[in-house]
Structure 1
């Protein structure tokens, strides 16, 4: 069977284990069903997720010109503390920014390779945790806008990491942590503006199981720009990575905007 289309991050559904789906040009694939099958991946061309032109992808699935122009790639995406829609102040497109920023956001703790603090829209729970390969996570505060989430994350990352070690996550070099205790320790460091939104009575950890038959022992990362053709037996899916029998891993999310041909052996 042959499929083709531009890569976008896999869609997910929380279950035991997580179910992964890949939307290509004319097909919707359940990636879990491809475990133990040989996948042949060929890079065909680039296709910017915004302008759809065959231009090299710069970041986040966008070509360089789109990345520096469209609101979907503005600095506040990666740095929520820079959000200004709550002040009525435009960055690139105030209407878009109001929709994205003026909605409930969650500051959370997630454990993938280590305990980290992060921010996401409430509507992205638990998707965000799955995308990060977290095997456990807990919510800390629920605030009404992205700015408050951003300043809370800034305050808390003085005491806990805001980064994931993706190699440790993929080799399953993990340690279970009592996230409720970690959350309670951090509560005193929440900024005054966000303290009223502390989720004191929300103490349940979410545990996540990933569909992995074999973890890599030493991670080798596949870059389609450097290796346009690859073949391997799929052994697992974790975060936004697919894991192959030969220890190769392929990050679907960081390859957004790559148009590929996929053959199943």
Structure 2
């Protein structure tokens, strides 16, 4: 059977194991059902997720023009400490930025490759952690806007990584750390204006179980730009990656805006 459409990040459903879905305009596919089966992926073109034009993708599923104009990819997305909506100051579109920035945000610790610190909107828990391939995650603070979350993350970057080592994550080469104990160590590291929001509860540890038949020893990333046709047996799904036999991995989120046909 053939499914065709533009890649966007896989939709997920928290469970044991986590359920993954590829969602296209006119169809969707439960990817878990393909474990142990051969899949063909054919690259057929581009479509910007913002303007919908068939233009080459620049970054994050956007064409060059949209990447530098859309409020959905402003600098404050990657650097929350640059958020200014709480001051009534626009970056690209104040109405959009108020909607996204002025809502509860979580600063968290996640165990994906090593312990890392990160920021997400409260509505994205636990989706954000699943997308990162975290085995476990725990909240540190819940704050009322993105700026406060950002300055908290900056303060903790001196003590924790802020990016996932995707190779370690996909080989499951992860050292276990007790995140509940780890959280108690950092109360005095967070900024004074955030101290009142510190989480002290002991029962909010999330554990993620991924549909992986076998973890590879080494991984090689599949790029549709270099390899427009690929065939392989699906052996696992973790984060936003499909894991195939012989260690080939395909980052779905990194290929947003790429139009493909998928034969199963």
2:140 match: 140
Q: Conserved in 1, the CA contact under 8 Å of 2:180 and 2:202? A: no
2:169 match: 169
2:236 match: 236
CA drift of 1:204 comes to: 2.7
1:119 match: 119
Count residues with an aligned counterpart. Answer: 264
1:95 match: 95
1:210 match: 210
1:21 match: 21
Distance 2:122 2:202 in 1: 14
Any unmatched runs of 5+ in structure 1?
A: none
CA drift of 1:216 comes to: 1.4
Runs of 4+ displaced beyond 2 Å? 201-204
Q: Conserved in 1, the CA contact under 8 Å of 2:12 and 2:20? A: yes
Q: What TM-score do the two structures reach when normalised by structure 2?
A: 0.99
Any unmatched runs of 5+ in structure 2?
A: none
1:159 match: 159
Comparing 156-165 with 88-97, which one deviates more in the overlay?
156-165
2:257 match: 257
CA drift of 1:152 comes to: 0.2
Q: Supply the RMSD in Å over aligned alpha carbons.
A: 0.8
2:191 match: 191
Deviations 1:200-251 (A, max 9, x none): 1254311110000011111010000110000001010000000001210000
Deviations 1:171-205 (A, max 9, x none): 01112210011111111111011111111125431
Deviations 1:131-167 (A, max 9, x none): 0000001000000000000000000111111111100
Q: Conserved in 1, the CA contact under 8 Å of 2:46 and 2:54? A: yes
Distance 2:8 2:97 in 1: 22
Distance 1:14 1:118 in 2: 20
